[in-house]
Amino acid sequence: MNIHVMTLFPEMFDSLKSSILGRAIKNNIISINAVNIRDYAFNKHNKVDDYTYGGGAGMLMQAEPVFQCHKAIIDCINTDLDQNIKIRTVYLTPQGTVLNQELAMELAKEEELVLLCGHYEGIDERVLEETVTDYISIGDYVLTGGELPAMVLIDTISRFVEGVLNNDESAMTESFSEGLLEYPQYSRPEIWHEKKVPEILMSGHHENVEKWRFEQSLMRTKERRPDLYEKFENTHKKDKKGRWIRNI
């Protein structure tokens, strides 16, 4: 998967080159191409922002540099692929659809993805209308720019790209994979600060361990995220043996 990021701060994306993502980049499973929008400024001071029509505080990113930057990226992809495919362009904004695992999984199917990071008070609406296909938020709070949200999105998506995680790190057996939070986990030593690892985890009885973990997931979700628990209850029902099965 090739991810192209339009940003005023391309160096921020260097921090993605470590850990699991770094390994995926080295193994050519993922590429991150951070492009500086300022390289497409059309004045001698490389200015990309201006005052907002109608007044109000703050500056706005102008349409033309964003448009030219986007065009350069799309032209480059289409030349490389030797065809004209529709490429999704995501604008990171608090006004977007809130990111979740499902959306990340859907985006992970794209071969090419363009991300647009805003700054100042936002971006001229006209260029958004011409370039953006998806508006995504990472939560109901406002950050100073789209770079951190873009990195959150890249990390979340990458985990669903085949080959990024190895078996031990599998994306399917953790919080949210069934809409529930993950159960508590323990490692050595068996007793730490007088707290003992739950007996059942040392029983070697696989079926009982799985049952315990599922119950813990349910309890934890009910307690910490009642919204998710309600959703789970509405999409699952208990079978004759009392096991939860998907309903919808």
Residues at the contact surface with ligand ADE, assessed by CB under 6 A: 92-94, 137-139, 141-143, 146, 149
Q: In whole angstroms, give the CA distance from residue 123 to residue 52.
A: 10
**Nearer CB in complex with ligand ADE: 74/138:** 138
**Nearer CB in complex with ligand ADE: 93/221:** 93
Does residue 221 contact residue 232 with C-beta atoms inside 8 Å?
yes
Q: Least distance from C-beta 18 to ligand ADE, angstroms?
A: 23
Q: Least distance from C-beta 70 to ligand ADE, angstroms?
A: 17
**Nearer CB in complex with ligand ADE: 10/146:** 146
| Contacts of residue 225, Cβ cutoff 8 Å, sequence gap at least 6 | 181
What's the DSSP call for residue 82? T
**Nearer CB in complex with ligand ADE: 85/98:** 98
Q: Least distance from C-beta 142 to ligand ADE, angstroms?
A: 5
From 216, 217, 234, 210, select the one nearest 180 (Cα to Cα).
Answer: 217
- State the amino acid at position 141 in one-letter form: Y
Q: Least distance from C-beta 165 to ligand ADE, angstroms?
A: 24
**In what helix (H) or strand (E) does residue 70 lie, and over which residues does it extend?**
helix 63-81
Query: In degrees rounded to 5, what are phi and psi of residue 116?
Result: -115, 125
Q: Least distance from C-beta 152 to ligand ADE, angstroms?
A: 8
DSSP-assigned letters across all residues of 123-185 = B-HHHHHHH-SEEEESSSS--SSSHHHHHHHHHHHHTTSTTSS-GGG-TTSSTTTTSSPPPP-
Q: Least distance from C-beta 34 to ligand ADE, angstroms?
A: 16
**Nearer CB in complex with ligand ADE: 4/119:** 119
What's the DSSP call for residue 121? T
**Nearer CB in complex with ligand ADE: 142/172:** 142
Does residue 22 contact residue 134 with C-beta atoms inside 8 Å?
no
